[in-house]
């Protein structure tokens, strides 16, 4: 029998940890918990969760600091859903810019959180649209859909699951221009209604910072002013 998908719930409120544990276990996940940021890092190393539900307001080590350390790891870490009592766009952008895969504002229903968990895990597991690799695998930008790897001049670049999906989609449609709304529909799919167009902008910014030699003058991921974005072959 295959091992159950493991979810790490990090929140300093015991009631929330208990409630989410009950709900996620009912959904068939194996749940481990941590009450502060330092304990979360210990659990990440010991339990190797497939997904992390991470509160921002944590004792000992804040949620954003935990996220930074997770993403700084060699493999970029598991998908992360942020929980926060902050509803401002700036906080959402900071979390997404640091590599969060989703952002859920308190108060929320356990059913919605479970739906977000299912959605993020599907995105992390599903193959992206087929992309055409560069003629020379050692030069330029190459997106390997089968292994979900990205290479720039032969050097591997770590992207989050959503960053990979967005880049792979654009590269699979070279020189075709997509609006932010179209990208939300095509890449974010069932999550599109939960996201704003600023989410697309932030993901493009993050991808450029990782793959472009000069992000201020992008070579592969171009902005079409007043419309959206296109990938250059």
Tell me the per-residue pLDDT of 182-205, one tens digit each, with 9 for 90 and over. 888 888 775 555 667 888 888 999
CB 177 within 8 A of CB 229: yes
Show me where the domains of the chain are located.
6-125, 141-231
Cα–Cα dist 88/206, whole Å = 20
CA distances 183 to 3, 69, 86, 142, 193, Å, are 34, 29, 26, 21, 12
Q: Between residues 93 and 2, which one has the greater pLDDT?
A: 93
Q: For residue range 49-97, what is the model confidence (pLDDT) as tens digits? A: 999 999 988 988 888 899 888 888 767 789 999 988 776 666 677 777 7
Structure-block tokens of residue 183: 């990208």
Assess if CATH 3.90.1010.10 describes domain 6-125: no
> Out of 1.10.760.10, 1.10.10.10, 3.40.630.30, 1.10.3720.10, which CATH number does the structure's domain 141-231 have?
1.10.10.10
């Amino acid at each position: 029998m295959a091992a159950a998908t493991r979810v790490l719930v990090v929140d300093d409120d015991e009631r929330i940890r208990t409630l989410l544990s009950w709900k996620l276990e009912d959904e068939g996940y194996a749940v481990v918990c941590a009450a502060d940021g330092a304990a979360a890092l210990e659990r990440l190393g010991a339990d190797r969760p497939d997904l992390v539900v991470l509160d921002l307001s944590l004792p000992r080590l804040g949620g954003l600091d935990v996220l930074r350390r997770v993403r700084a790891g060699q493999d970029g870490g598991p998908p992360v859903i942020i929980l926060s009592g902050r509803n401002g766009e700036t906080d959402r952008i900071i979390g997404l810019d640091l590599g969060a895969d989703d952002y859920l504002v308190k108060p929320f229903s356990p059913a919605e959180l479970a739906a977000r968990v299912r959605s993020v895990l599907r995105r992390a597991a599903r193959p992206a649209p087929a992309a055409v690799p560069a003629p020379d695998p050692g030069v330029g930008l190459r997106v390997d859909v089968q292994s979900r790897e990205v290479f720039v001049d032969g050097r591997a670049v770590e992207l989050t699951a959503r960053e990979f999906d967005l880049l792979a989609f654009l590269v699979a449609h070279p020189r075709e221009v997509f609006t932010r709304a179209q990208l939300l529909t095509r890449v974010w799919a069932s999550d599109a209604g939960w996201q704003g167009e600023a989410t697309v902008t932030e993901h493009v910014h993050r991808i450029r910072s990782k793959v472009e030699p000069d992000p201020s003058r992008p070579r592969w991921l171009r902005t079409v002013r007043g419309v959206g974005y296109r990938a250059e072959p």
